[in-house]
Amino acid sequence: MIFTWIKYGKPDVSMCLNASLAGLVAITAPCDVTDVTGAIIIGAVSGLLVVFGVWFLDYKLRVDDPVGAVAVHCLNGIWGTIATGLFATTSAPGNESVVGLFYGGGFKQLGIQLIGFLAVAAWTAVTITIAYLCIKKIFGLRVSEEEEIVGLDSTEHGLPSAYAGFAIMDISNTMTMAVNENTSLGAPDYETASEVAKEAAVSVVRDVTPSTGIYKVVIISRLSKYDALKKAMNDLGVTGMTVTQVMGCGVQKGAGEMYRGVEVDATLLPKVKVEVVVSKIPVEDVIASAKKALYTGHIGDGKIFVYNVSRVVKIRTGEEDFAALQDVE
């Protein structure tokens, strides 16, 4: 807990609990041949190894390990196996022959432990590769890009989230949260992004009623993108817009917080809602310009709603519909 406090700026209780599990995993192999001092050292190292393992997988290897299972079981299983060759001592009750390097036993036991680790690793690599190749051939290993974005909790299990009850309140109320890297769609540039990524970042919802030729376009996006959006609309010739600051979230679940040493999204975010009504300007041009201005390559870039407008009245002149939207005196 102290280490995560120093590293992340706050104590991480979930990481501390994972560290306790890691200690149990690491001590499994040498539990019958170590003394109290060795056990304490093994446990301390395993706790730090969990933090490193989570960081390495999430930020360097980019491997999705939501509960830290690899850091807890794989890394600390390896560490516990090697630790037997380091901390084994005959002072442990019932151990009369196994002596580790740090207790004067030399490299013999350590070598045995390393050979055992390598043998298990090789066997696992071969068998799991065969299993994965069979699964890939029969079913396929990857889901579609749409399912990756929405999440398997919803598409496979029918759940809104595996952590639906987990919530973090934004008690600071600063509304200055940075973009969460965990929502990245992999393409920060609009021109190089796939259509699926564009739709996930800035999705469009359309009214199903017959077209009237007059459309209300409601755009909800990040506060930081308002100036870019306003310029894009002005460049199109949109002269009137209504702007409201709102709070909300979509698939991205809101603001960034630290969970298990990794940033997660869990609260409402400040947004800006821009409403425009167009008739002369093609609505598709409005949508295209808005999507290009708002896109950053992250889930939660925004959403666009398009509605048919049945009637417009300009109060000052009494003009209606198309004429009411023109700024010509």
Helix (H) or strand (E) holding 242: strand 242-248
Same domain, residue pair 223 and 298: yes
Same domain, residue pair 136 and 238: no
Least confident of 73-77, 211-215, 217-221, 287-291: 211-215
- Number of residues written out for the chain: 329
**Single residue among 141, 161, 189 that ends a domain in this structure:** 141
Same domain, residue pair 60 and 113: yes
In a domain, 201, yes or no: yes
**Single residue among 141, 164, 195 that ends a domain in this structure:** 141
Same domain, residue pair 207 and 282: yes
Helix (H, G, I), strand (E, B) or coil at 219: strand
Same domain, residue pair 186 and 318: yes
Same domain, residue pair 191 and 320: yes
**One-letter identity of residue 213:** G
**Single residue among 93, 117, 141 that ends a domain in this structure:** 141
Same domain, residue pair 129 and 202: no
Same domain, residue pair 189 and 301: yes
What domain count does the chain have?
2
- Between residues 66 and 234, which one has the greater pLDDT? 234
In a domain, 160, yes or no: no
| Nearest residue to 185 (alpha-carbon basis) of 289, 295, 290 | 295
238: domain range?
181-324
- Between residues 285 and 171, which one has the greater pLDDT? 285
Same domain, residue pair 128 and 216: no
- Between residues 288 and 169, which one has the greater pLDDT? 288
Write b or e for each residue in 182-209: b if 16 or more Cβ atoms lie within 10 A of its Cβ, otherwise e: bbebebeebeebeeebbebbbbbeeeee
Strand partners, 243: 274
Euclidean distance between CA atoms 266 and 164, whole angstroms: 10
Taking residues 45-71, what's their average pLDDT? 89
Q: Match 């808005």 to its residue by tokens.
A: 290
Same domain, residue pair 133 and 223: no
In a domain, 173, yes or no: no
CB atoms within 10 A of CB 102: 16
Percent above pLDDT 70 for the chain: 85
Which CATH number goes with the domain that contains 225?
A: 3.30.70.120
Question: Does position 177 have pLDDT exceeding 90, yes or no?
Answer: no
Q: In this predicted model, what pLDDT tens digit does every residue of 1-13 receive, in sequence order?
A: 888 888 878 888 8
Same domain, residue pair 210 and 289: yes
Query: What pLDDT sits at residue 329?
Result: 47
In a domain, 148, yes or no: no
Query: What pLDDT sits at residue 200?
Result: 79
Which CATH number goes with the domain that contains 103?
A: 1.10.3430.10
Question: Does position 171 have pLDDT exceeding 50, yes or no?
Answer: no
Token digits of residue 314: 């300009």
CA dihedral sign, ordered 243, 244, 247, 248:
negative
Q: Are 179 and 296 in contact (CB under 8 A)?
A: yes
Question: Does position 109 have pLDDT exceeding 50, yes or no?
Answer: yes
Residue 35, CA distances (Å) to 39, 86, 87, 193 in order: 6, 12, 8, 57
Residue 270, CA distances (Å) to 220, 279, 290 in order: 10, 30, 18
Contacts for 184 with CB less than 8 Å, ≥ 6 apart: 297, 298
Taking residues 78-87, what's their average pLDDT? 97
Q: In this predicted model, what pLDDT tens digit does every residue of 265-310 receive, in sequence order?
A: 556 677 899 999 998 889 999 999 999 999 988 877 889 999 999 8
Rg of the chain's alpha carbons, rounded to an integer?
A: 29
CB atoms within 10 A of CB 76: 30
CB atoms within 10 A of CB 247: 12
Same domain, residue pair 202 and 72: no
